[in-house]
Amino acid sequence: TLNALIFDVDGTLADTEELHRQAFNAAFADAGLRWDWGRARYRELLRVTGGKERIAHHIDSLGLGDNDRRAALARVPALHAAKTRHYAALVESGALRLRPGVARLLREAREAGLRLAIASTTSPSNVEALLVSTLGPEGPGLFDVIACGDLVRRKKPAPDVFELALRTLGLEPEEAVAFEDSANGLRAARAAGLWTVVTPTLWTVDEELGEASLLLPHLGDPEQPLSGEPGGRLP
């Protein structure tokens, strides 16, 4: 029987990727780098999960010589720390809302006695900032388990973070449903054996999502438009 709902954060609870993109670019500018990820480039880069991994992938794509490449890769941890500070500031400024239907689903699931969990690639501090900013100070406490990227060896599309959430809940995959927005997240949830509801955003709607157990434009009332970055445009 159904016991718990496990939610991805980025793209699923809220459409965060535009703020992540701005935070990466701000960190690059602070460091005096002339890297500037436009929306089209960022959509490609989203195929690489994890911010540190995404920056490293970008460096690998620059065609640098060995020494320059190694020197650039050595800067990834500091660049990513700066990105995380920018992202927290952007989230705390209140720029994000939960996607349609999310708040109601969380509330009604709790009322029905279901447990709630998070399975995210991003850091615990980012998840916490988002939950507090969108749900208020009680937000993080609604979730019994917050499983995050750096707690596991392999990030999505590997199943590790969903397996960690299930293990911590003490549940079998048949007892939970996963909510995701992307192909990487869907692959991770399926590999963990979970039934998966996928609600893409404009960042992920062109991805390979056909294996979803249920594919919906969003979790809200049917007349709501598809969620996208602020302004609703993509290149």
- Which of 5, 6, 8, 19 touches Mg ion (CB under 5 A)? 8
Residue with tokens 């960190």: 27
* DSSP E strand boundaries for the chain: 4-7, 115-120, 145-148, 176-180, 195-198, 214-215
Exposure string over 95-117, b if 16+ CB within 10 A, otherwise e: ebebbbbbbebbeebeeeebbbb
Q: Which of ligand XBP, Mg ion, none binds 20 (CB below 5-8 Å, type-dependent)?
A: ligand XBP
3-class DSSP state for residue 153?
coil
Of 184, 200, 196, 216, residue with least CA distance to 5 = 196
3-class DSSP state for residue 107?
helix
Instruction: Find the shortest distance in angstroms from Cβ 9 to Mg ion.
Output: 7
Q: Which of Mg ion, ligand XBP, none binds 207 (CB below 5-8 Å, type-dependent)?
A: none
Q: Which of ligand XBP, Mg ion, none binds 227 (CB below 5-8 Å, type-dependent)?
A: none
Nearer to ligand XBP, 15 or 66 (CB): 15
Among positions 179-208, residues that touch Mg ion (CB under 5 A) are 181-182, 185
Backbone φ/ψ region at 6: left (φ over 0), alpha (ψ -120 to 50), beta: beta
Six token digits for residue 195: 């039934």
Nearer to Mg ion, 21 or 72 (CB): 21
Instruction: Find the shortest distance in angstroms from Cβ 126 to ligand XBP.
Output: 5
Nearer to Mg ion, 185 or 220 (CB): 185
Catalytic hit among 8, 15, 160, 181: 8
Nearer to ligand XBP, 111 or 187 (CB): 187
- Which of 5, 6, 11, 18 touches Mg ion (CB under 5 A)? 11
Distant-in-sequence, close-in-space partners of 181: CB < 8 Å, separation ≥ 6: 8, 10, 11, 12, 198, 199, 200, 201, 203, 204
Residue whose C-beta lies closest to Mg ion: 11
Q: Which of Mg ion, ligand XBP, none binds 184 (CB below 5-8 Å, type-dependent)?
A: ligand XBP
Mark whether 8 is an active-site residue. Answer: yes
3-state class percentages of the chain: helix first, strand second, coil last, to nearest 5: 45, 10, 45
Q: Which of Mg ion, ligand XBP, none binds 199 (CB below 5-8 Å, type-dependent)?
A: none
Q: Residues in the site for ligand XBP, rule: CB under 6 A?
A: 8-11, 17, 20, 49-51, 83, 120-123, 126, 149, 156, 182, 184-185
Catalytic residues: 8, 10
